[in-house]
Amino acid sequence: MSRATRVALAFVVIAVAALAIWVVPVAGTALVVERPVSTPDAIISLASHEWERLPELILLAHRYPDARVVLTLPAHVNRFTCHDCGHRVEQLVHHQIAAQRIRMLPITLSGTYGEAMAAREFAQREHVSRLLVVTSPYHTRRSLATFTTVFESTGVEVGVEPAAATSDARPESWWRTPYDRWYVRYEWAAILYYRVRYGVDALTNHS
């Protein structure tokens, strides 16, 4: 290996190391976005992670008493797709959310994309013009990008609210716990997959 090649290789290694030092600390915080919606017509809580998403949904339902409260229902329910599906309505009613406000939204396509497609049909059917999505902090960037893409040209205003108060997520130090490491790696992989599979560009600033 010539001296010039070694020098060039050294510069590449230094550049990659510098990039990694800059990127890795923000890998968690970059996933968390928030887009408020003024007086939403409907608030939708995405399935799974109910222990963190439902408390935020309850708070928002009380803050916006005229909004419909929507729960997505996966076609195949298990502890990964909908951790506590059978008790969600019961929990909402227990916290003084009127049963008449609650809508169950079956989804036929899998994942966040399937939830967004079902939500679009619901919004058109129920004349929703302002929709607020509630989900886990690390899931907010991909969720907002997916819903924004699916709702394009519908005229529906879409926002997202991270369930930060009841989440174990620590975006500023995501590399320190197994939960954060798993979720951050999963979301970045999912963002790349959604870009290829559905044309969802979550890397654009959606905050």
What integer is the mean pLDDT of 162-170?
Answer: 93
- Residue 18: pLDDT band (50, 70, 90) is very low
pLDDT band at 21 (very low <50, low <70, confident <90, very high): very low
Q: In degrees to the nearest 10, what's the CA dihedral of 159, 160, 161, 167?
A: 180
Residue 204 lies in a domain: no
Residue 24, domain member (yes or no): no
Residue 17 pLDDT greater than 50, yes or no: no
Question: Is 6 inside a domain boundary?
Answer: no
Cα–Cα dist 89/71, whole Å: 9
Q: Give the residue-averaged pLDDT of 134-153.
A: 97
- For the chain, what percent of residues have pLDDT higher than 90? 70
Higher-pLDDT residue of 3, 192: 192
Mean pLDDT of the chain: 88
Residue 9 pLDDT: 56
DSSP string of 106-132? E-SS-HHHHHHHHHHHHHHHHT--EEE
For 59, residues 6+ apart whose C-beta sits below 8 A from its C-beta are none
Residue at 13 is within a domain: no
Q: Would you say residue 84 lies in a domain? A: yes
Task: Assess if residue 16 is contained within a domain.
Answer: no
CB 155 within 8 A of CB 139: no
Domain enclosing residue 119, as ranges: 29-198
For the chain, what is the domain count?
A: 1
Q: Is residue 9 part of a domain?
A: no
CA 43 remoteness from chain centre: 13
Predicted confidence (pLDDT) at residue 131 exceeds the cutoff of 80: yes
CATH number at residue 124: 3.40.50.620
> What does DSSP say about strands 68-73 and 42-45: parallel, antiparallel, or unpaired?
parallel
